[in-house]
């Protein structure tokens, strides 16, 4: 629901009052001279004008600040007026006609009061922004929506922005209004079946199975740690931060693994490293393969470590105690950015090898991500909680903020969208995201975005589109090698099954298998995995987990890579599914695969 009354008068006047001095509601009688070359003061007066109480979009309403801008005919006011028009249209304020009358003059475009047409025209034109636009936009969003938006618009960030900040639009929620999952609880498939029965409010047409055999999951496997994240949950959260591939922990030597605690949790435990046992403490995401226990149920060894040493067999040496860094125990911190609107779930390595801010190296840095509540070309804009840098979820690059000029890019990791039955058969030791996330959401299969997923229309403006060969919501598999993007139409990949291709000088093979049809659509349709192929050409065999090369040698398909004769390994490549429009909107230069090319 649009937050029309939340901060409307009180917060706005407090914020603007602190910046402009005493502020009263603007009126037609206020004929004070306005210096429109003072962009900061003028834009703040524009916010106050649109935020002024009373009125019902009176057609004859005239405000001096708009008259002054029209007289100056300064195109630098186009961007702030478009931002203001987004709110004046919805609030039907007296200033609404003035906003669009002024826009019509400055742009010389015949769009009347059509906000979306002005916005798309300005985005495509890449219009210049006035000084202090960043501060203006932060105050605007804080005034009408949520004070937390201001954190992303510190004065001066526009100077290092990698995008035109006009394109950032409100996505309908507050900051973190779509909450990301952080080290969320994973459970065994058996425990998941029990949860499905226990949370009967999430049954669909009498089917309480969790996960249902044909429902789609994001499947991730790192260092033998396989985890499933059902789309029915991620449709509500759009992001998870997790640590995958952790080494098992033990409460005592020779015991069963005790890695089932919910993370992030403090621990003191034993870890096997080669022939040695190592004492470890810190914070960990653990290892969920055997199921989860409450943190309180884990009894860690107490006392000094000499008593533990006495319990060791003579052939089980104990190395010195190690304190592990917070956040992981030999696992890989990852983040999945799932843009529901553009159908793309991209798995990233959440650790940057080196972060440089203001010329100072911060060293390796693991980031945790949340949702800004903003979109760009209908693509999620996320932020990291360490620096408040705003990131593009599809490209993995900073849009603006402290890391915008740090030359960093998140590494894309392999992920597959497949049906639960297939994932479980391929990974019998997998864990799966628990329905008990700590949030209240309708986790019914098809409970979120069903209407949007199953209709051709877009929900937010996207100025850069191309439907000459594909429809906006056609699914593609996206690869980007050596800064060369390429889209592989999903229908073509499924038809071929095994696709041998070359991209940016690298030979690749893509293996695709259709997932079961359902009575509603979610962004998927096929389990797709891409691998290096060296100088080989591959074909399918009668075995679903095996390929054969052009010399007749069999190759085993695994999540990590293709395993061939003599121990040769061809590594898997990071790629993901996406709606065509979502991929094209940021990669208009993309190559598109066609059979026989």
167: three-class secondary structure by DSSP: helix
Whether residues 487 and 396 fall in one domain = no
The verdict on residue 439 lying in a domain is no
The verdict on residue 517 lying in a domain is yes
Whether residues 546 and 577 fall in one domain = yes
pLDDT in tens, 506-538: 999 999 999 999 989 999 999 999 999 999 999
* Strand-pair category, 498-503 with 506-514: antiparallel
Residue 303 has pLDDT above 80, yes or no: no
- Which residues have CB under 8 Å from 489's CB, separation 6+? 470, 474, 475, 476, 580, 592, 593
Residue-averaged pLDDT of the chain: 85
Q: What is the pLDDT at residue 360?
A: 82
Among 5-14, 49-58, 255-264, the range of highest mean pLDDT: 49-58
Whether residues 567 and 471 fall in one domain = yes
Residue 56 has pLDDT above 70, yes or no: no
Domain final residue pick, 392, 416, 440: 416
Among 311-320, 327-336, 580-589, the range of highest mean pLDDT: 580-589
The verdict on residue 516 lying in a domain is yes
Q: What is the DSSP letter of 584?
A: H
pLDDT in tens, 333-349: 999 999 999 999 999 99
Residue 14 has pLDDT above 50, yes or no: no
Whether residues 358 and 210 fall in one domain = yes
The verdict on residue 539 lying in a domain is yes
8 A C-beta contact, residue 263 and residue 286:
yes
Q: What is the pLDDT at residue 254?
A: 52
The verdict on residue 434 lying in a domain is no
Q: What is the pLDDT at residue 25?
A: 44
Domain final residue pick, 138, 167, 196: 167
pLDDT in tens, 150-176: 999 999 999 999 999 999 999 999 999
Residue 266 has pLDDT above 90, yes or no: no
Q: What is the pLDDT at residue 324?
A: 32
CA distance 159 to 161: 6
Whether residues 504 and 575 fall in one domain = yes
More confident residue, 342 or 262: 342
Percent of the chain with pLDDT over 90: 71
Q: What is the pTM of this model?
A: 0.84
The verdict on residue 471 lying in a domain is yes
CA 59 to chain centroid:
42
Domain final residue pick, 277, 292, 323: 323
CA distance 492 to 512: 10
Whether residues 233 and 133 fall in one domain = no
Q: How many folded domains does the chain comprise?
A: 4
The verdict on residue 366 lying in a domain is yes
The verdict on residue 114 lying in a domain is yes
Whether residues 501 and 363 fall in one domain = no
Residue 249 has pLDDT above 80, yes or no: no
pLDDT in tens, 413-457: 999 999 999 999 999 989 999 999 888 899 999 999 999 999 999
Domain that residue 257 falls in: 246-323
CA distance 104 to 127: 15
- C-alpha closest to that of 279 among 315, 321, 248: 321
């Amino acid at each position: 629901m649009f937050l029309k009354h939340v901060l409307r008068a009180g917060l706005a006047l407090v914020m603007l009052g602190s910046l402009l001095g005493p502020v009263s509601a603007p009126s037609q009688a206020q004929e004070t001279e306005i210096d429109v070359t003072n962009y900061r003061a003028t834009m703040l007066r524009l916010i106050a004008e649109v935020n002024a109480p009373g009125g019902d979009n009176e057609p004859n309403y005239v405000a001096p600040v708009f008259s002054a801008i029209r007289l100056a005919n300064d195109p630098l006011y186009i961007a702030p007026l478009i931002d203001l028009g987004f709110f004046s249209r919805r609030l039907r304020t007296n200033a609404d006609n003035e906003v669009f009358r002024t826009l019509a003059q400055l742009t010389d475009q015949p769009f009347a009061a059509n906000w979306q047409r002005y916005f798309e025209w300005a985005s495509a034109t890449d219009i210049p922004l006035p000084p202090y636009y960043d501060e203006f936009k932060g105050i605007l969003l804080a005034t009408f929506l949520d004070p937390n938006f201001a954190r992303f618009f510190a004065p001066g960030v526009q100077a290092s922005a990698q995008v035109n900040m006009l394109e950032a639009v409100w996505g309908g929620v507050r900051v973190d209004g779509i909450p990301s999952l952080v080290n969320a609880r994973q459970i065994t498939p058996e425990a998941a079946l029990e949860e499905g029965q226990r949370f009967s409010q999430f049954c669909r047409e009498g089917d309480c199975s969790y996960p249902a055999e044909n429902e789609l999951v994001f499947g991730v496997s790192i260092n033998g740690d396989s985890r499933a994240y059902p789309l029915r949950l991620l449709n509500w959260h759009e992001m998870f931060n997790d640590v995958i591939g952790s080494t098992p922990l033990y409460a005592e030597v020779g015991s069963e693994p005790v890695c089932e605690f919910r993370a992030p949790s403090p621990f003191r435990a034993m870890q096997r490293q080669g022939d040695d046992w190592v004492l470890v403490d810190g914070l960990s995401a653990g290892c969920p393969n055997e199921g989860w226990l409450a943190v309180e149920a884990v009894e860690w060894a107490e006392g000094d470590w000499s008593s533990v040493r006495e319990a060791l067999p003579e052939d089980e040496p104990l190395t010195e105690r190690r304190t592990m860094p917070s956040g992981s125990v030999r696992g890989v911190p990852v983040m999945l950015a799932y843009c529901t609107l553009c159908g793309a779930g991209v798995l990233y390595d959440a650790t940057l090898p080196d972060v440089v801010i203001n010329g100072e190296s911060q060293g390796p840095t693991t980031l945790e991500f949340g949702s800004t509540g903003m979109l760009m070309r209908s693509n999620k804009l996320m932020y990291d909680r360490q620096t408040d840098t705003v990131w593009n979820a599809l490209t993995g690059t900073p849009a603006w903020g402290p890391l915008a000029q740090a030359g960093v890019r998140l590494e894309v990791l392999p992920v597959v969208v497949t049906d639960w039955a297939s994932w479980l058969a391929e990974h019998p030791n997998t864990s799966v995201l628990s329905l008990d996330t700590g949030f209240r959401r309708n986790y019914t299969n098809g409970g979120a975005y069903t209407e949007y997923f199953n209709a051709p229309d877009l929900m937010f403006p996207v100025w850069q589109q191309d439907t000459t060969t594909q429809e906006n919501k056609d699914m593609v598999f996206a690869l980007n090698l050596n800064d060369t993007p390429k889209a592989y139409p999903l229908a073509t990949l499924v038809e071929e099954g095994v696709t041998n291709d070359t991209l940016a000088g690298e030979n690749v093979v893509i293996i695709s298998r259709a997932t079961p049809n359902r009575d509603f659509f979610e962004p998927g349709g096929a389990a797709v995995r891409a691998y290096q192929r060296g100088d080989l050409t591959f074909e399918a065999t009668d075995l679903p987990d095996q390929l054969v090369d052009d010399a007749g040698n069999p190759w085993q398909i695994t999540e990590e890579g293709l395993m061939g004769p003599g121990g040769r390994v061809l590594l898997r490549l990071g790629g993901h599914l996406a709606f065509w429009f979502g991929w094209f909107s940021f990669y208009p230069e993309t190559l598109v695969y066609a059979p026989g090319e």
